[in-house]
Amino acid sequence: MRELNIEQRLIQIDENIAVIKRMLETLIDKPLTQPGMTSDKAIISVKQVAQLLGVDINIIYTKCAKGDIPYFKIGKQYRFKKEDILNWVKEQNECSEFSVDDYVNRYMQKHILKG
């Protein structure tokens, strides 16, 4: 077997590092599940919640800061139970009945000039 010179070794090391990085990125993007868990029991990241809901990541962070969305932290990272997120979305849809009359009444009460 032929000896590799230093430059060839460095190139090979860089290629190996690139392969490892791709493997880690793949693992990070997968939901954390345990054997026997359904996909609804998965633990998902902020990025995955944003993708699931079709919103920007910053909206998820804002919802967490306000306590509007169910989450927990592992270290400094926000994590979510997929089941909790799906239930939260269902609750939001049930509570989101919008009444134009109520909105106009509230607006008028706030903005009527007293004469």
- Give the total number of structural domains in the chain: 1
Instruction: Report CA 94 to chain centroid distance, whole Å.
Output: 22
Burial (CB < 10 A; 0-12, 13-18, 19+), residue 31, is middle
| List of residues 6+ apart from 52 with CB closer than 8 A | 44, 82, 85
Residue-range definition of the domain harbouring residue 90:
40-97
The total number of residues written for the chain in this structure: 115
Asked whether residue 109 carries a pLDDT value surpassing 60, the answer given is yes
Distance between CA atoms of 38 and 112, rounded to whole angstroms? 54
Asked whether residue 115 carries a pLDDT value surpassing 50, the answer given is no
Whether 53 is covered by a domain: the verdict is yes
pLDDT tens digit sequence for 26-65 = 766 665 555 554 565 789 999 999 999 888 999 999 999 9
Whether 17 is covered by a domain: the verdict is no
Q: What is the CATH number of the domain that holds 45?
A: 1.10.10.10
Q: Which pLDDT score is estimated for 18? A: 85
